[in-house]
Every structure is written in C-alpha cells, then in structure tokens.
Structure 1
Amino acid sequence: MDLRSISRGIGQFICNQGALSMLNAKLTSFVNPVFLTGQKAYAAFSSFYQSEKDYPCYFYDGSCSHENIEYLANSLPIDCDCIVAIGGGKLIDTAKSVANRLNVEYITVPTLLSTCAAYTPLSIIYQSDGRIKQGEHYERAAYLCLADLDLLVHSPKSYLLDGIGDTLAKWYEANAAVANLTDDVPVFVQAALQMAKLIQQVLLNETDAAIASLTSHQVTPAFKHIVETIIGLGGMVGGLAGRKARVAGAHAIHDGMSQFPQTHQYGHGIKVAYGILVQLAAEKKMTEIEELLPFFTKYQFIHRLQDFGIHENLTEVMQQIAEIACGDGQTFRLAVPNCTVAQVVEAMQYVENL
C-alpha cells in the first residue's frame, strides 16, 4: 500500500500556554523514553520545562540525513520505547525516521514555527551536503504534539516567516491539485481544500498581529491562531488529502532550488513561498500574483532568484530547477498537468521580472 494515500492523524495535539507542564505526566505511559534534540532547541526547551526524572538526551547533527538517522538509531538504548523530539523541522523529521526504524512511539515538542513537521507522519531527508534527497512516509503518526505557546512566542521571527511561507502554499497547491483531479473527489480531500482556504485567510489576516506578539513576547489570540494554523491545520491538510493535494508546484520548485548551495542559507518556507509565485505564473493566474505581492513585499519574502544569491548563469539555473520540478516523481504536474520544462522556465522568468 502506498503510504502517501493514507489519511491519518496525530494522537493528541495540545497547543496552549504552559503545555510543557503536561509532559511529565504524559511520559508515565512509557518505561524508557529518551530526548532527541539540538543544542539551541534544548536550551530553549529547558527554560520552560521542569523535569521530574533524568531522561537520556541525544543530539542530532543538524543534517536530517540518512547517515545521522542510522547513527542515532544505533546509538539509542535498545529498550527505548518513546522518542521525545524537541526542536525544529529537521530535528523532528530526524526523530520520526529514527522512531520508524526502531518501531517506537514519538512525541513532538516544536521549538520553532517553521513547518508542520511536528504534526505530519513524514520526513524530508537531505543529502549530507544540504541537497534534498527524498521524502519518507510512515504508518505511525505522533503519539502527542505539545506546542507550548510560552516557549514559541520567544522563538525567532525568521522561522515564523518560514512557517507562514510554507503554510500559505497549502491553499495554492491544494486548490490547483484538486481542480485537476479527473476522478471522484473524496470527502476528506474536499475537507482538506476547505481547510487550506481557511489557512490562507488566517495567514493573510492575522500575520501582523502574530508578529507583534512575537516581538513583544506576549501570547495573544492571533499568535495562537497562527501557531495552530502552521502546525495543526498545515499538517491536517496533508493528513486528510494524502498524495492528492498535500503538495504541488511550490514544493517542487523548492526541491529544485535545494540543489544549489546558494539557497541553503534560506529556510524551507522562504523557498516554498517563491515557488507559490512560480506555480501561479505557470497556471497563468497573474491576478492572484498581483494580489499576493503586497503581502510578499510587506514581510520581505524573496521573489527573485538573484536575491537568493544566484547571480550567474541565471537561465541555466532556471533550466536545472525546472528539470527537477518537472521530473519523475515530482509534484509540479499536480498543479499544471503535462507541464514542460520550458513552461516552468517561462514562469520563473516572469516572476524574476516582477
């Protein structure tokens, strides 16, 4: 069975102030849980969590590569029965892959607002040099996600913008993908599309207030809405829609861009946001691009390859990105069926000249 086609959800999603105060009680369901984290993430987490036991703590190398995943899977205690993943998207994706190899439960504690990784039963795996390698889909979803608003309201703004860019793509990708379905549209996919529209509305209307909350380190309703949207609703769209509408053109452009070292300093969501514009241009939805541009400008989302640090051989770079985006197994064709490399290059050139 293709795991990409299965609709499945998280065990529990708790998104509140002081959510980490529940972690000790939740861990009593396990005999030998371990923490898996990164150095910065663990420092942030420790400011908001009071441990009742001395749990073993392991650190990943920041790569989310198969090499580090295998190393960690071989390093954890043989009697480990739960992994508590504390960190951002790459850390949590690493933990999910390790948990899958060990066949154990995992709990996610996001410390950044950059992706919906804390909610979704899949990982994006990278080469050791930072290029994207593949996606992995798992039968097991998280036992629990604890999104502590007190912790997250102290997270960096750049990662919040990352999460907004990545999550905003849910509407544009799902809308295009569902419109191109030729068979019956399952009710779960219809629900995912409606949820994706809500995501767009929340992000366009409440980002200002959420950023103000983050700047002042004060939890507000708008901040909670954005957290719920990025982590919860963003993850649920893929969980409901499966492969039919989880990702489309914007993420395919991201995957192509990841092959170029100049883009590695920019977050996943910043590249996906650029991909939204390229997808819309390929769909010939120029009016929607015009409607989005003020939002992109206000929050400084990049919409030119040159601003990603690519200054030489621009046409050749576009060609290579387009070849990957349109390649076998990629998802640009969900947005634009039968698209060609030339069409994607033309769309990128249009966006470059905005």
Structure 2
Amino acid sequence: MAENTDRTPVSVFASPGRYVQGRGALGRLGTLMEGLGSRRPLVLTDDVVRGLTEQVLTGSFAQADLPLAFERFGGMPTSAEADRVSGVIDEGGHDAVIGLGGGTAIDTAKAAGDNAGVPWVSAATVASTDAPTSALSVVYTESGSFESYRFYSRNPALVVVDTQYVAEAPVRFLSAGVGDALATWIEARAVRRAHSPNMVGGLPTHAGSTLAELSWNLLWRSALPALEAVEKNLVTQDVEAIVEATTLLSGLGFESGGLAAAHAIHDGLTAVDQTHHFTHGEKVNIGSLTQLVLEGAPASEIDPFAEFTARVGLPTTLTEAGLGGADETVLDEVVRAAMAPSETIHNLAFEPTHRDVRDALRAVEGVGRRARERVGLGEPTPEDYT
C-alpha cells in the first residue's frame, strides 16, 4: 500500500493478535505463550490474584515447559511503576510480559513491555474495564489522579479472559465493566458524527463503530441476567456475552471508534479526592450521563439509560460520588481537568464551554435521583459505593 504523505485523513482499525475467552482459558496460557515463541515470560500481578491463579499457572507453564516467574505489581499504574517493572524484565532476560488481573496491572505490563522492547500479553481475571485489548495505557499519579494516555504502536500480542475467575470475582467488578462498556457506543457515535479521530490516530472505521454498537446491544440484552449469575458464581451464556461485550467489543469499539466526553468526565472526576473510592467504570457512568445531558439527548433516551444503569448497580448521581453538596470550586476542578487541551471531550461535534459542562454535571443529580425513584432504589447516599 502506498504511503500516505499528504495528511489526507485515513481510517484506522486496531486489534490484539489473538483473543481467547472462556471457562478454564487461563489453563491454556502456557501453551499460548509457547505459540508466541516466548521462552521466558514474566507475570506481573498482585498478591491476591497470584494466590488465586498460581496453581493453575504452574500446571499450565509446566505443560509447555516454560519457567513461571512472578513480579509483584505495586498497585498503581504510574510511570515509575512501569519503569521499575521494565528494569525487572531487562535484568531477568524475560522475552515477554503478562499483565494478570485487572486493568491497572494490564496497563502497567503494556508500558513496561514497551519500555523493555518485548511483547505484552493481557490475562484478565475480571471484566471491569476494556483495557486488555488496547494499544494504550491510562497512566495515573501516585495519588490516583488521571495523568495521561500512553499510546503504543502495537496492541497486545494475546488476550486471555477466564470467565470462571470473572464469575468468582465480586459482582461490583462486572457492574463496573458494564458501565465502562456502555459509554463505548455513546462516545463512538458522537465521534463519528463529528468526523473526529479515534484513539489510534485515524478516522473511525465502520467496523469500530459497529462493534461499539454491538457491545451496547449485548449489554442491554444480557447485563442484568449476567450479574445475577455472577452473584452465584455461575458462568452462563449471558455471562460469556457480557464478558465479550465489556472486554473485546468495547475494547475494539473505544479504540477504533473513539472517545468523547464520558471518559473526559471520568478523568476530571479523578482530580478530586471524593471520587477515589469509585472504580473506573463507575466514574465513566457519571460521564456517560453528563455527555447525554451535554448533547441535549431527549428524556426518552436519558431516562431509560439512567434507570438501566441504576439497576446494574452503577452510580447515577453526584451524591453517590460524595459530590452532592460540593461547592463550585470542587466542580470547577473536575471540569478543568475534563476540558484539558489533550482531553477527548474535544471530539464532540461542538465545543462546550466550562459553564456548559459544569451545568450538565450538576443536572445529572436530578436525572439520577428520578431514575432511582422509578426503579425503587430510594435516596442515594455517599456510602452506597464505599
């Protein structure tokens, strides 16, 4: 293909090398790593996930005649942590790094692998974010505030999601994954309308936008029965569908479809201490509601969305985030961070003002309270998500 040298916009689609999902998938990791040509991988994970998975991985790696080496993840996906882990990769002569667990360990493994010049693999034991498939990491400060997106020239070589571990994890993780994934179509359609760039430096492809919409449709169909199944640690077809929607389809959809205001509001919320107890997907749901209000979406769309996400167990009010009584200084800090020059809110088809965004964020409180009342959840409190 001829090189594009005239800055003409091109469409770009990105994806991991291979995606493997299902009950017992983690038991295949050794063979899959062998298939990638790795002979000395490093597994980055925290102590809890290591305790849950070490026996399975020991057998899996022994079957593939691979050494099993763990490195303890420090808990926060900072630049310093990625630098530390890349040093471990270099010192140990490792030829690949596996991020095992949730999105923070996986994002750190990507950054460390990029630093060290080795392939990276995502092995997810929860379905709380769509981080596993993408060619980017979300980098945070030590205090837990959003710092930046870090982009890579390639996606993970392999993504493995074991749905039995997903089903045995606290249901809040899967609920958060639903919140993160629901934003994918809300943002992708906004990006497409505006002819704005996606997350891999091109215009959205039809494939990226369509996968975002497919994720949305599966979530509305299967999220509630899937969450009921996970409450009982069951793996059902609804669980498999929701894991695919939150991990694969949302991952491909946000990266190749693009992000807009929902994730920018998430990033803004990380700037204040009151929201640090929220998961990524919980903050994103506040962002999705804010974007819908900001866009002037009809009540016939906003109200069912707020009701559905309340049933899913996601926050729909600022009160639940500890911001119900926040003064303008706190909300101004959230909005300033959400509207930073590098933020994805600028992918909208219009340029909202600081006041527009703050008012939309404030309006979410009433939207969420009415939704909670309609579904019988009662008054929200800050303790709902502590």
Q: Normalised by the size of structure 1, how large is the TM-score?
A: 0.92
Q: What residue in structure 2 maps to residue 329 of structure 1?
A: 342
- Residue pair 2:262, 2:290 contacting (<8 A) in 1 also: yes
Q: What residue in structure 2 maps to residue 281 of structure 1?
A: 293
- Measured after TM superposition, the shift of residue 75 of structure 1 is 2.3
Q: Tell me the distance in 1 between the aligned counterparts of 2:111 and 2:22.
A: 27
Trace 1:150-299 onto structure 2 (pairs within 5 A): 150-181=164-195, 189-239=205-255, 241=256, 245-287=257-299, 288-299=301-312
- Measured after TM superposition, the shift of residue 285 of structure 1 is 0.7
Query: What is the DSSP-based 3-state SS (H/G/I as helix, E as strand, rest coil) of the residue aligned with 2:108?
Result: helix
- Residue pair 1:113, 1:155 contacting (<8 A) in 2 also: no
**Match of residue 40, structure 2, among 8, 32, 35:** 32
Query: What is the DSSP-based 3-state SS (H/G/I as helix, E as strand, rest coil) of the residue aligned with 1:270?
Result: helix
Q: Which amino acid aligns with 2:235?
A: V
Trace 1:331-346 onto structure 2 (pairs within 5 A): 331-346=344-359
- Measured after TM superposition, the shift of residue 291 of structure 1 is 1.9
Q: Which amino acid aligns with 1:116?
A: D
Q: Which amino acid aligns with 1:246?
A: G
Query: What is the DSSP-based 3-state SS (H/G/I as helix, E as strand, rest coil) of the residue aligned with 2:131?
Result: coil
Q: Deviations over 1:282-316 (max 9, x none)?
A: 11113221121211221232122222123554322
- Measured after TM superposition, the shift of residue 108 of structure 1 is 1.3
- Measured after TM superposition, the shift of residue 189 of structure 1 is 2.1
Query: What is the DSSP-based 3-state SS (H/G/I as helix, E as strand, rest coil) of the residue aligned with 2:20?
Result: strand
- Measured after TM superposition, the shift of residue 320 of structure 1 is 1.9
| 2:91 is the counterpart of 1:91 | no
**Match of residue 67, structure 1, among 54, 75, 80:** 80
Over the residues paired in the alignment, what is the CA RMSD in angstroms? 2.2
Query: What is the DSSP-based 3-state SS (H/G/I as helix, E as strand, rest coil) of the residue aligned with 1:218?
Result: coil
- Measured after TM superposition, the shift of residue 187 of structure 1 is 8.7
- Measured after TM superposition, the shift of residue 319 of structure 1 is 1.9
| Cα distance change of structure 1 residues 334 and 165 upon mapping to structure 2, 3 Å threshold | same
- Residue pair 1:303, 1:351 contacting (<8 A) in 2 also: yes
Structure 2: runs of 5 or more not aligned: 368-386
- Measured after TM superposition, the shift of residue 163 of structure 1 is 0.5
| Cα distance change of structure 1 residues 73 and 180 upon mapping to structure 2, 3 Å threshold | same
- Residue pair 1:202, 1:226 contacting (<8 A) in 2 also: yes
- Measured after TM superposition, the shift of residue 73 of structure 1 is 1.3
- Measured after TM superposition, the shift of residue 47 of structure 1 is 5.3
Q: Tell me the distance in 2 between the aligned counterparts of 1:182 and 1:279.
A: 16
Q: What residue in structure 2 maps to residue 45 of structure 1?
A: 53
- Measured after TM superposition, the shift of residue 58 of structure 1 is 0.3
Q: Tell me the distance in 2 between the aligned counterparts of 1:231 and 1:275.
A: 19
- Residue pair 2:317, 2:324 contacting (<8 A) in 1 also: no
Q: What residue in structure 2 maps to residue 125 of structure 1?
A: 139
Q: Tell me the distance in 2 between the aligned counterparts of 1:351 and 1:71.
A: 40
Query: What is the DSSP-based 3-state SS (H/G/I as helix, E as strand, rest coil) of the residue aligned with 1:310?
Result: coil
How many pairs align? 347
Q: Which amino acid aligns with 2:139?
A: I
| Cα distance change of structure 1 residues 39 and 78 upon mapping to structure 2, 3 Å threshold | closer
| Cα distance change of structure 1 residues 318 and 114 upon mapping to structure 2, 3 Å threshold | same
Q: Tell me the distance in 2 between the aligned counterparts of 1:135 and 1:308.
A: 24
- Residue pair 2:125, 2:163 contacting (<8 A) in 1 also: no
Q: Tell me the distance in 2 between the aligned counterparts of 1:154 and 1:308.
A: 26
Q: Tell me the distance in 2 between the aligned counterparts of 1:262 and 1:80.
A: 40
Trace 1:309-320 onto structure 2 (pairs within 5 A): 309-310=322-323, 312-320=325-333
Q: Tell me the distance in 2 between the aligned counterparts of 1:213 and 1:307.
A: 25
| Cα distance change of structure 1 residues 302 and 141 upon mapping to structure 2, 3 Å threshold | same
57-66 or 41-50, which deviates more = 41-50
- Measured after TM superposition, the shift of residue 182 of structure 1 is 7.6
Q: What residue in structure 2 maps to residue 300 of structure 1?
A: 313
| Cα distance change of structure 1 residues 182 and 229 upon mapping to structure 2, 3 Å threshold | closer
Q: Which amino acid aligns with 1:30?
A: S
- Residue pair 1:283, 1:336 contacting (<8 A) in 2 also: no
Q: Tell me the distance in 2 between the aligned counterparts of 1:311 and 1:300.
A: 18
| Cα distance change of structure 1 residues 300 and 314 upon mapping to structure 2, 3 Å threshold | farther
| Cα distance change of structure 1 residues 296 and 98 upon mapping to structure 2, 3 Å threshold | same
69-78 or 48-57, which deviates more = 48-57
Identity among equivalent pairs (%): 25
- Residue pair 1:45, 1:111 contacting (<8 A) in 2 also: no
Q: What residue in structure 1 maps to residue 118 of structure 2?
A: 104
Q: Tell me the distance in 1 between the aligned counterparts of 2:137 and 2:196.
A: 28
Q: Which amino acid aligns with 2:345?
A: F
